[in-house]
Amino acid sequence: MEGNARALEAAWESFAQLAPDTHATEYTVRLTPGADARAYAEAVAALDPGLHASVLDSGNAGTATVITFSTVFTVLLTLVASLGVFNTVLLNTRERRRDLGMLKSIGMTPRQVVVMTVTSVAGLGTFGGLLGIPLGIVAHRLVVDNVGAVDFPAYMKDVWHAPQLAAMLLAGVAIAVLGALVPARSAARMTIASVLHTE
């Protein structure tokens, strides 16, 4: 992905078997836990001015940037999805004002109206998650397999695990429920007289 395409990074034993007559151009040294990497690099440079020792930074700016943008996009998509659910439920409850008024006239409590509205939307959120998660995994695999000329190994593409998938499914249900709460509560506060008046 970067650097010389003809270069190979390997452990010393593998390097000796693959190319016993070739000299290594770079060495990666792993220090014991707690060792001072800067002091080690300075000692190497003092020992031989021809050696250029550098300390590998534990933080990766590229990875941090990707994670930050992914988090921002996730939050924005969550807000958009919540607003979409809010709008849909609001329109749905307004269309069903007469039905809700009739149900309230025969004894349905405001809490039951809220539960009925929210559970209907939660069911749609569950269905959307069950449909969207497999499609998202397939789309992820297609994008990764066709990005540039890089052939990623299988372990880099196998990033989806059962706990993450369950959390995404629950997140879809939670977004649906949160988006439906306000319209459901406003529908529960409707009086029978106001419903009949709008008819």
Q: What are the tens digits of pLDDT across the range 85-110?
A: 888 877 877 777 777 777 777 888 88
Tell me the CA end-to-end span of the chain in Å, nearest whole number.
66
Residue 154 token pair: 């299988």
Task: Tell me if the pTM is above 0.85.
Answer: no
Cβ atoms 179, 121 nearer than 8 A: yes
Q: Write the pLDDT tens digit of every residue in 59-89.
A: 667 677 878 888 899 889 888 888 888 888 7
Q: Give the rounded distance of the alpha carbon of 114 from its chain centre.
A: 30
Q: What's the whole-number average pLDDT of the chain?
A: 81
Band (pLDDT 50/70/90 cuts) for residue 1 is: low
129-139 as b/e: b if 16+ CB within 10 A = beeebeeeeee
Whole-angstrom CA distances from 161 to 142, 155, 165, 167 are 18, 12, 6, 10
Residue 33 phi/psi, 5-degree rounding, is -60, 135
**Nearest residue to 182 via CA among 118, 108, 102, 100:** 118
Cβ atoms 180, 89 nearer than 8 A: yes
